[in-house]
Homo-oligomer: A and B are copies of this chain.
Amino acid sequence: MTRKSGDASRSTIRDVAARAGVSASTVSRVLGGVYPVSAATRGRVMRAVRDLDYVADARAKAIAGVGTPTLAFVLEDITGPSFAHMAHGVEREATRLGHLCLVCSTEGDVRHELEFVEMMRAQRAAAVILVGGTADTPEYRERTHRMADSLASAGSRLVLCGRPPLDPGAPVTVIEYDNEGGAYTLVAHVLAQGHRRVLFLGGRTDHTTALGRERGYLAAHRARGLTPDPALLLHGDFTRDAGHRLMQQALKDDLDFTAVVAATDMVAAGALTALHEAGLTVPGDVSLAGYDDIPFARDLHPALTTVHVPYEELGRLAVRTALEHTPGAPDEHLLLGTHVVVRDSVGPPAPHQRR
């Protein structure tokens, strides 16, 4: 077994050329593979390459115009299961299409987001995918529109994935999934079981994903001629801890409800534990539903009724659509459907609770 001597610094194409007794161009051509090179020369070059354990500098190739393209993925926190699944879809599709994949977590900080997008522009990323809901303010639209223009003028492309669209004219690809529709169907299902007081464990009040789901909740009520009690709308993070805390508080405050709809499965998980801790059964005493259909949802007890979102597909679509986009072509705006997965956590309200 031969081990290369650890020559402290990487070798260049010229080192290889010198060792093979040819010019750098020849080495480049041998490695490129297309240009005709005699077998003998090719052999010597390959030998030198192996001896020196040479790999061409990807950055140098990139600036010469023959590099592996890169694609960037900016999200809030890879730890969220739905983000992770999107990331997985993005990563798979990116490598399938021969792209490298950079990921950045913003931790929810807008400044980080801006910095990262600027960096990705400097990296000449083929596309930048921004993932996850956000506050849909004029400032957001303005800032993001600017990003889109910057990237577009650099030959790159901004993709908004599960994020509110911009004003028409912004050079941006938008891939959304139907938060409002999914929540509407889910809450309609809950109401159809006979529930009339449904607690909603929502997200931050400025967050589009949370807001969309909340709108669905309200719309489903309206469609039945109901007006939900505002006291039943609670707000927190999209974490199991927030769900746990909110649910505890709701029980402590003695809120009157027969069902709970959580804005995400994680929130539902925390809420479920709080219900259990309070000695309540689900769906006997209280019904519970989530949103996202993460793999774990089946393993809650009872198995969680929730809304399935094709997160991985979302990610794959985001990169495919972005990379297929040709400048000048119309901007795509895709809206993926969701569907309710009925499991065991929603049932009719207990007889004594009916009104």
Interface residues of A (CB under 8 A from B): 1, 3-4, 6-10, 53, 55-63, 67-68, 77-79, 81, 84-85, 87-88, 91-92, 95, 100-105, 107, 112, 118-119, 121-124, 142, 149-150, 152-155, 171, 239-241, 266, 269-270, 272-273, 276, 295-296, 298-301, 303, 327
Q: Do B101 and A103 touch (CB < 8 A)?
A: yes
CA distance A272 to B57 in the complex (A): 50
Residues of B contacting A301 with CB < 8 Å?
272-273, 276, 300-301
Q: Do B240 and A124 touch (CB < 8 A)?
A: no
**A303's contact among B101, B103, B273, B299, by CB below 8 Å, is which?**
B273
**A154's contact among B55, B78, B152, by CB below 8 Å, is which?**
B55
The 8 closest A-B pairs by CB, nearest first: A269-B299, A58-B122, A301-B301, A59-B59, A10-B154, A59-B62, A55-B122, A58-B123
Q: Do B269 and A58 touch (CB < 8 A)?
A: no
Q: Do B119 and A100 touch (CB < 8 A)?
A: yes
Residues of B contacting A124 with CB < 8 Å?
10, 57-59
Residues of B contacting A171 with CB < 8 Å?
6
CA distance A121 to B112 in the complex (A): 27
Q: Do A92 and B105 touch (CB < 8 A)?
A: yes
Q: Do B63 and A60 touch (CB < 8 A)?
A: yes
With A100-B119, A119-B68, A121-B55 known as contacts, the answer to whether A153 contacts B10 (CB < 8 A) is yes
Q: Do B7 and A153 touch (CB < 8 A)?
A: yes
**A142's contact among B1, B9, B105, by CB below 8 Å, is which?**
B1
Chain B's closest residue to A91 (CB) is B105
Residues of B contacting A119 with CB < 8 Å?
58, 68, 100
CA distance A351 to B154 in the complex (A): 72
